[in-house]
Chain A
Amino acid sequence: DAMVIQNPRYQVTQFGKPVTLSCSQTLNHNVMYWYQQKSSQAPKLLFHYYDKDFNNEADTPDNFQSRRPNTSFCFLDIRSPGLGDAAMYLCATSRVPGSGANVLTFGAGSRLTVL
């Protein structure tokens, strides 16, 4: 009954080799988020889509891009991964407006290792 599904769960890449992480949802939520979480730290918002509108955080590096081809799917592209990009990447969704605003449902995460 997984509602926010991330693939792959574990990704190993080489320094500078592009990677794409995917997220799909069965909740029909209109907002999708990508968070980066490093060990023992808070999830850090990279960007989010409100429907088709892309919202980038001011401090998100250009190395990170995102695509949302339809309501159900969202992708995180890391164009040239560096060692500092090794982290858990969490996808989350929410439904706005309404009582569910800001209530996030997280996926299980994709753990990225950069060699």
Chain B
Amino acid sequence: GENVEQHPSTLSVQEGDSAVIKCTYSDSASNYFPWYKQELGKRPQLIIDIRSNVGEKKDQRIAVTLNKTAKHFSLHITETQPEDSAVYFCAASLRGNNRLAFGKGNQVVVIP
């Protein structure tokens, strides 16, 4: 089955700097790659996603890049702010049906 791994597991950045989280996946049939943000005690919320027919997608300070050949995709957050502090989960679609496999999450701490 699909195996999704995230690196690093924790990331601390100074406010205003950029943060990058990388995910790798194993199933070449995966074609949808979302990123979810989960603040402490709250539900996961979709922040950006990308499908396999594009290599990059940007939404204000957030971008996602996809390398299908290498089977990895990355979340880029620019000009980080304290409210960006959260756990970020990547996910990849599973072959054949409507399911996602999640990575273990990455704790991002933005230091004011």
A85-109 at interface with B (beta carbon < 8 Å): 90, 94, 96, 101-109
The 3 closest A-B pairs by CB, nearest first: A42-B102, A106-B43, A102-B32
Beta-carbon contact of B42 and A108 below 8 Å? yes
Closest-by-CB residue of A relative to B9 is: A40
Which residues of A lie under 8 Å from residue B46 when comparing CB positions? 103-105
Contact A104–B100 (Cβ < 8 Å): yes
Q: How far is the CA of A48 from the CA of B89 in the complex (A)?
A: 20
Report yes or no: B97 in contact with A55, Cβ–Cβ below 8 A. yes
30 inter-chain pairs at a CB distance below 8 angstroms, sorted by A residue, are A31-B98, A33-B99, A40-B105, A41-B104, A42-B4, A42-B89, A42-B103, A42-B105, A43-B89, A43-B102, A45-B100, A45-B101, A48-B99, A50-B98, A90-B43, A94-B98, A96-B98, A101-B32, A101-B98, A102-B32, A102-B34, A102-B93, A102-B100, A103-B34, A103-B49, A104-B34, A104-B46, A104-B100, A106-B45, A108-B43
Total A residues in contact with B, Cβ cutoff 8 Å: 23
Interface string of A43-64 (1 = CB under 8 A from B): 1110010100001000000000
Closest CB in chain A relative to B85 CB, distance in Å: 15
A/B pair count, beta carbons within 8 Å: 53
Contact A106 B98 (CB under 8 A): no
Query: Considering the chains assembled together, what is the distance between the CA atoms of A5 and B44 in angstroms?
Result: 14
User: Hey, what's the 0/1 contact readout for B92-112 against A, CB within 8 Å counting as 1?
Assistant: 010001111111110000000
Which of chain A's residues have a CB closer than 8 A to the CB of B98?
31, 48, 50, 94, 96, 101-102
Most chain A beta carbons < 10 A, residue from B42, B45, B89, B97: B97
Residues 8-63 of A at the B interface (beta carbon under 8 Å)? 31, 33, 40-45, 48, 50, 55
Report B-chain residues with C-beta under 8 Å of the C-beta of A94: 98
CA distance A107 to B44 in the complex (A): 8
Query: Across the two chains, which residue of chain A brings its CB closest to B46?
Result: A103
